[in-house]
């Protein structure tokens, strides 16, 4: 933005956080990470576009003139694979390279095995299919209720003993392709939390419906994309995720993960779990929401 950082009222650097070698602590810790030998060899598996980007970035680093690069592409195109190859190569040459992420989700997609699949390095059968390891599969039976409880126990082992652990709560999730399944799993999970529950009901309405063609009972039964259900059951310690930007400057934006700490009549007392605002206590107010898909219904639907 063509501004000088000295024009902003930033605090002075506290050198007491640096070590005796005068290397900033964060950089020193990053440089001390032991390198994975397999990562160093990733550069040999780059595709044509990855190799072109890799070579250009490495050439700029060797020139010592500095540079800024923006690598763009849809999910699954191999951007993270490229980043790992660059970081490993630089670290193997005793250069400092610090990897950062702007969200907890981004920081969590670095493993698990998924990168080996995306990079074509995982073993496949004659049909180019990857066999999922037994240790990350949940056995299937004809009892759907039993299977769901097994899945919950595996993803959230000893739930009530660990519910106060921030890392435990924020690093686990059960995903589903259907909203109805999500709501059903959420209800089961809430029932497993200890303590009394708080039940909130939404106020649903339509615009320009003077003849009451759409009664409230019908509107209450709807759960369109992007909206919470009419009946919202919560307990102290359970995680929640914001669906709208309420106050982005203070960390309350779409996708923010929080843990419920208390209840009021029209607000929820919660604690932000990840990001630069982690640990901050906030009050989540009631807000007016509309479906993300305007053409989902033949009327304009609103839920508070």
Task: State pLDDT tens for residues 37-92.
Answer: 777 888 888 999 899 999 999 999 999 888 899 988 766 778 888 988 998 888 88
> Does residue 304 contact residue 258 with C-beta atoms inside 8 Å?
no
116 pLDDT tier (thresholds 50, 70, 90): confident
Q: What pLDDT band is residue 199 in, cutting at 50, 70 and 90?
A: very high
Residue 107 pLDDT more than 50?
no
- pLDDT at position 294: 63
**Gap between the Cα atoms of 267 and 285, Å rounded:** 5
Q: Is residue 131 part of a domain?
A: no
| % of the chain exceeding 90 in pLDDT | 15
For residues 160 and 255, membership in a common domain is answered with yes
Tell me if 99 is assigned to some domain. yes
Residues 262 and 177: their CA atoms lie apart, in Å, by 30
178 and 72 assigned to the same domain = no
Do 208 and 101 share a structural domain? no
- Examine residue 133 and state whether it is found in any structural domain, yes or no: no
Residues 265 and 258: their CA atoms lie apart, in Å, by: 19
List beta partners, residue 281. 271
pLDDT above 50 (res 110)? no
Say if 163 falls within a structural domain: yes
In sequence order, what are the residues at sequence separation of 6 or more whose Cβ sits closer than 8 angstroms to the Cβ of residue 211? none
List, for residues 259-293, the tens digit of each pLDDT value.
899 998 889 999 998 777 888 999 988 888 888 66
Residue 20, both tokens: 């005796």
Do 102 and 155 have their domain in common? no
Domain total of the chain: 2
- Is 123 within a domain? no
Give the pTM. Answer: 0.55
On average, the pLDDT of the chain sits at: 82
Same domain, 202 and 280: yes
Q: Does one domain contain both 164 and 294?
A: yes
**C-alpha–C-alpha distance, residues 55 and 254, integer Å:** 37
Domain hosting 31: range is 5-118
Residue 46 lies in a domain: yes
- Residue at which a domain ends, from 118, 133, 168: 118
Residue 65 resides in a domain? yes
pLDDT tens-digit series, residues 144-169: 889 989 999 998 999 888 887 877 87
Percent of the chain surpassing pLDDT 70: 86
Greatest mean pLDDT range, 11-25, 50-64, 85-99, 121-135 = 50-64
- Residues 291, 153 share a domain: yes
> Are 230 and 271 within one domain?
yes
pLDDT value of position 201: 93
Q: Is residue 69 part of a domain?
A: yes
Same-domain status, 107 and 169: no
More confident residue, 24 or 90: 90
Structure tokens belonging to residue 218: 């019908």
* Residue 166 shares a structural domain with residue 240: yes
Same domain, 85 and 150: no
Q: 212 pLDDT exceeds 80?
A: yes
Q: Check whether residue 149 and residue 298 sit in a common domain.
A: yes
């Amino acid at each position: 933005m063509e501004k000088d950082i000295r024009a902003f009222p930033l605090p002075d650097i506290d050198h007491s956080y640096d070590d005796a070698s005068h290397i900033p602590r964060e950089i020193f810790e990053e440089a001390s990470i032991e390198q994975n030998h397999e990562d160093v060899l990733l550069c040999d598996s780059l595709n044509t576009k990855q190799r072109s980007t890799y070579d250009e970035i490495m050439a700029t680093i060797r020139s010592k003139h500095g540079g800024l690069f923006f690598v763009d592409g849809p999910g699954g195109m191999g951007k993270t694979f490229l980043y790992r190859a660059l970081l490993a190569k630089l670290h193997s040459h005793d250069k400092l390279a610090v990897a950062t992420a702007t969200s907890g989700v981004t920081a969590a997609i670095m493993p698990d095995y998924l990168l080996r699949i995306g990079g074509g390095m995982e073993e496949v059968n004659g049909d180019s299919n990857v066999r999922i390891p037994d240790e990350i599969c949940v056995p299937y039976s004809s009892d759907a209720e039993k299977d769901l409880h097994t899945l919950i126990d595996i993803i959230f082992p000893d739930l009530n003993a660990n519910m106060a652990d921030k890392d435990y709560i924020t690093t686990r999730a059960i995903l589903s392709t259907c909203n109805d399944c999500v709501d059903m799993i959420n209800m089961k999970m809430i029932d497993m939390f200890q303590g009394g529950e708080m039940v909130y009901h939404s106020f649903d309405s339509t615009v320009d419906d003077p003849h009451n063609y759409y009664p409230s009972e019908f509107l209450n039964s709807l759960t369109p994309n992007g909206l919470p259900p009419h009946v919202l059951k919560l307990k102290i310690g359970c995680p929640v995720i914001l669906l709208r930007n309420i106050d982005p400057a203070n960390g309350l934006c779409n996708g923010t993960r929080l843990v419920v700490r208390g209840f009021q009549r029209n607000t929820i007392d919660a604690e932000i779990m990840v990001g630069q605002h982690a640990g901050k206590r906030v009050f989540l107010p009631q807000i007016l929401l509309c479906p993300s898909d305007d053409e989902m219904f033949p009327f304009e639907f609103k839920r508070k």
